[in-house]
Chain A
């Protein structure tokens, strides 16, 4: 951008900067408040209203939520589903994307259309539920993964990426007697690591944030991932329904405890965020290209 040193230009830049700073601050303040609140005592939180940096530090809330194994189990489910789900999704997506990226493949247009069409029209919640049920997936961890194993959007991004790899590389590998699987795993995938990383992260975040599929397909609360448990603890307890969900003998969770659960459920994403941000921004732009 060209520097504008006129008075109007400077004023414009100053106002613009200030506004953006305020917007950015408003965006992160709720997080800071929640994190700060989770590390103090409930008495302190109630007394000093607008905590951003707690005066009294305390791990009370964390001790409480980790006193039963409910949170551990839910975190375990979420970690497991995220790891296995990302692997499964990535594997299926990469195979399909590579097959469809090859221009000499007969029928690829039909399959491409079939994929794109699912983005415009879908059977909806109930028919999908009935399919999942017929397959016997209800109340299995697999129901959190298999029914949403491939994202059409991610598949198309990856396919476009593969299409941009020079065909000559594949041709010469073929002449050397390399099979299609060999080309994919030895040549195409190693060249596509940025795209693979981006899409793996897309999938991982989606799996970590799984909520809807869990409430649709899991009746057994012992199998709940962390998002469902978080909702039980925070949302239901903030409404009218004050029945405790951690344990019937425990009073409704107070603010610090809710905040601690939010932090625990958010932490994995915040930890990988710097990494995420770099790749995700790229990925979103990959997706904006047409192909």
Chain B
């Protein structure tokens, strides 16, 4: 290239760009049916994922359904200002963060421990049976999970309250008593997801070289020391990856689950961002305000994923992307 510009030759070379351009066009034409295949899917993502992102601009407007997005009045940061001055919102944010903390500190370690326990089982027969039983709840909808617990804890005829009475305790109104909301929430999360959560850990444990255990045993390491010095270090990368993903879902605690547990008596502790968006937005028609709340939540989630990902890369782990 440099030579060409230095001493112009009479024969003009085909410029690089246009040559590759031609090739690209040829390749695109050859692959035209592949584009036809992608088109419906791409259209789906544009309409149902990217159009709503564009719709986030209504959080800077006073959106009125009959005016549409283009005709509604712009109000700048009004809704975001309201967000941070509303005492209600602070309470909801706290509720959301508390449930998030329960997920991180109580739920997150459980599948790891379960996977380590399952891995220590000697026979494959029982391992498979336990796994089958532990996976079942994952396939139940939240409606079913919540329904089963409601049937069990209800005051009139629920087995849990019957047991309490049997052992001489008072009945507890688990469903309406606000202080029981969080324990119920996290127990249901554990019951539904802990077993299923072991799968990825078990898969990465299975990839560990058995020779390592052999060597450790030669050195006189017992089961617990083998777990501590071989198994856990080997699955650390997976733990970090799943932890990042969990952080990313920081404020996505599952609208369905919380909404199903929510009632007028436990609202002060059970109302989280997602349920509030639903109530304020779709029930009360505050489209712009509730969109602002959702927007705030999504941004926080995105920032957290990127931050944790960066930190884990700095610490020498792989990161998610």
Chain A residues near B (Cβ < 8 Å): 1-4, 6, 8-9, 12-13, 16-17, 19-21, 23-24, 27-28, 30-31, 33-34, 37, 45-46, 49-51, 92-93, 95-96, 98-100, 102, 104-106, 111, 114-116, 118, 120-132, 135, 146-150, 152, 155, 179-181, 184, 205, 208-212, 216, 227-228, 230-231, 234-235, 238-240, 254-255, 258-259, 261-262, 265-266, 269-270, 273-274, 276-277, 280-281, 284-285, 288
Let me know if A239 and B175 touch, CB within 8 A.
Answer: yes
Known: A150-B44, A239-B263, A277-B132. A124 touches B217 (CB 8 A): no
| Complex: A205 Cα to B56 Cα, angstroms | 30
- Interface residues of chain B: helix, strand, loop or mixed (majority): helix
Q: Which residues from chain B sit less than 8 Å from chain A, CB to CB?
A: 24, 27-28, 31, 33-35, 37-38, 40-42, 44-45, 47-56, 58, 65, 114, 117-122, 126, 129-137, 139-144, 146-152, 154, 157-159, 162-163, 166, 175-176, 191, 195-196, 199-200, 203-204, 210, 213-214, 217, 222-224, 238, 248, 255-256, 259-260, 263-265, 274, 277-278, 281-282, 287, 290-291, 294-295, 297-298, 301-302, 305, 321
Q: How far, in Å, is B78 (CB) from chain A's closest CB?
A: 16
The 9 closest A-B pairs by CB, nearest first: A123-B52, A96-B41, A127-B55, A124-B294, A209-B141, A127-B52, A99-B38, A180-B33, A234-B147
List the A side residues contacting B287 at CB < 8 Å.
126, 130
If the complex has contacts A95-B38, A180-B34, are A255 and B157 also in contact, measured as CB distance less than 8 A? yes
A184-B33 Cα distance, complex, nearest whole Å? 11
Given contacts A2-B214, A123-B53, A277-B135, are A106 and B24 in contact (CB under 8 A)?
yes
Assuming the A-B contacts A122-B52, A131-B48, are A273 and B150 also in contact, with contact meaning beta carbons closer than 8 angstroms in the complex? no
The reply to whether B147 and A12 form a contact with Cβ atoms under 8 Å apart is: no
The answer to whether A211 touches B42 (Cβ under 8 A) is no
Once the chains bind, are B157 and A45 in contact (CB under 8 Å)? yes
Contact A92 B48 (CB under 8 A): no
Contact with B120, one of A16, A104, A118, A269 (Cβ below 8 angstroms): A16
Cβ contact within 8 Å between B55 and A147: no
Decide if the interface of chain A is mainly helix, strand, loop or mixed: helix
Query: Known contacts being A28-B136, A266-B144, is A124 close to B31, with CB within 8 Å?
Result: no
**Are the CB atoms of A96 and B40 closer together than 8 Å?**
yes
Shortest distance from the beta carbon of A10 to any chain B beta carbon, whole Å: 10
Taking a contact as CB atoms under 8 Å apart, the answer to whether A273 and B148 are in contact is no
Q: Is the CB–CB distance between A126 and B294 below 8 Å? A: yes
The docked-state distance in angstroms from the alpha carbon of A45 to that of B158 is 10
Closest chain A residue, CB of each to CB of B161: A49
Complex contact B150–A284 (CB within 8 A): no
- In the bound complex, do residue A238 and residue B53 qualify as a contact, i.e. CB atoms below 8 Å apart? no
CA distance A270 to B159 in the complex (A): 23
In the complex the two chains form, is B33's CB within 8 Å of A149's CB?
Answer: no
Q: How far is the CA of A31 from the CA of B150 in the complex (A)?
A: 13
Compute how far the CA of A17 lies from the CA of B123 in the bound complex, rounded to whole angstroms: 10
Q: Knowing A124-B297, A227-B143 are in contact, say whether A27-B136 is a contact too (CB < 8 A).
A: yes
- Are B136 and A273 in contact (CB-based, < 8 A)? yes
Pairs A–B under 8 Å by Cβ, sample size 16: A1-B122, A4-B217, A6-B222, A24-B130, A27-B134, A33-B152, A92-B41, A95-B37, A98-B34, A111-B42, A121-B53, A123-B56, A126-B282, A126-B291, A184-B37, A212-B259
Q: Which residues of B contact A180 (CB under 8 A)?
A: 31, 33-34, 37
